Structure 1
Amino acid sequence: MPSLDTFMTIGRIVAAQGLRGEVRVYPESDFPERFLEPGPRWLLAPQQDTPTPIALLAGRTIPGKGLYVVKLAGIDNRDQAEQLRGYVLLVPVDDRLPLDEDEFHVLDLIGLTVFEQTTQVEIGTVTNVFSAGNDLLEVQRTSVTTMANANAPLLIPFVKAIVPVVDLVQRRIEITPPPGLLD
């Protein structure tokens, strides 16, 4: 049985599309080919820990919505498609696509330690990455401070001016925060 550790999420099925078994997928991947090119994928049901293989037969984008419509093998009508609402679409972790310089896979960023560049003070650990215009790093603070929101995670814009150093080998990120970012 495959372990969930060997997979990465590429999207979530949010609705049925039409009457012929297509589903709408909210992407959690920056690679459109994951939803447009036919091939093997895996489905994970809510509250389950064992994915099942399925073939992606075809896909297309919904312009202006940030969604994809995909046709999966064996899903031939709206009722079957509706049953997949909330399922997660996966690919094997070792099926990573090549990246350009200064691009990173989200999974590689999770767990990295964040430091303020000039002082080398540890800020916290990356716990998530959100897509929003520019990506945002969610960082859980390392130490509790006297600030009212000290336990609240920080959201750090993932742009070169603020995050000049990402060192995957050393498992660290260095930031140059603008005034107020860490308050």
Structure 2
Amino acid sequence: MTEQEWIVIGKVVAAQGLKGEIRVNPSTDFPERFEVAGQRWLRMPNQSPESVELERGRRVPGKNIFVVKFEHVVDRNHAETLRGAEILVRAGDRPELEEGEYHVSDLIGLNVLDVDTKEKLGIVSDIYSAGQDLLEVTDANKQKHLVPFVKEIVPVVDLVEQQLEVNAPPGLFGEAPQS
């Protein structure tokens, strides 16, 4: 399968306990991906994905971490070998979204234009969750800018044209005008 056929939903960060559970740092807004049993895939660095069966999972209270148990992982030693593995689902298994909601993987790589001038400001290079989502936009000079992903600042997201438009407050993409 090609890279575009997979969605990374999390990364194994540590073993949990003695019975093969693992701690996962999620990269999805859909907690059911770690709470509902079923098929997932694990991909170790520089290897092909391997099918695994998720038995169960739960969110750690107060943290953005899940503890999950895969069927074939029976002890801590085996769980430790999975540190750094990505947890994947097939791209076709993406949940349906409401209007105005987007999958993170659809936003990475979009061109970022000024809403008024249509000047290219950069490319979406990453997304962070910090109370609200922040788009990391890398400009032509490799400078990184964090843009709040709210309708007032990002009024247009056009996945067909592979771009979004930003109504940037003064100073967001450079020096603020002198008054």
Taking structure 1 as the reference length, the TM-score comes to 0.91
Which structure 1 segments of 5+ residues have no match?
Answer: 143-149
5 Å-filtered alignment, 1:151-166, equals 151-166=142-157
5 Å-filtered alignment, 1:6-21, equals 6-21=5-20
Query: Per-residue deviation at 1:173?
Result: 0.4
Among residues 107, 119, 122, which one is paired with 1:121 in the alignment?
119
Distance in 2 between the 1:86 and 1:102 partners? 32
1:94 is paired with a residue of what secondary structure? helix
Query: Per-residue deviation at 1:49?
Result: 3.6
Among residues 45, 57, 60, which one is paired with 2:58 in the alignment?
60
Whether 1:43 aligns to 2:57 is no
Distance in 2 between the 1:122 and 1:75 partners? 48
Question: What amino acid sits opposite 1:135 in the alignment?
Answer: D
Among residues 109, 113, 129, which one is paired with 1:131 in the alignment?
129
Q: Which residue of 2 aligns with 1:147?
A: none
Stretches (4+) displaced over 4 A? none
Query: Per-residue deviation at 1:151?
Result: 2.7
1:135 is paired with a residue of what secondary structure? strand
Identity, % of aligned positions: 48
Q: Which residue of 1 aligns with 2:177?
A: none
Among residues 86, 93, 104, which one is paired with 1:88 in the alignment?
86
Distance in 1 between the 2:2 and 2:88 partners? 12
**Alignment RMSD:** 1.1
Question: What amino acid sits opposite 1:38 in the alignment?
Answer: A
Which structure 2 segments of 5+ residues have no match?
Answer: 175-179
Question: What amino acid sits opposite 2:166 in the alignment?
Answer: I
Q: Do 1:137 and 1:158's aligned partners in 2 also have CA atoms closer than 8 Å?
A: yes
Query: Per-residue deviation at 1:42?
Result: 0.4
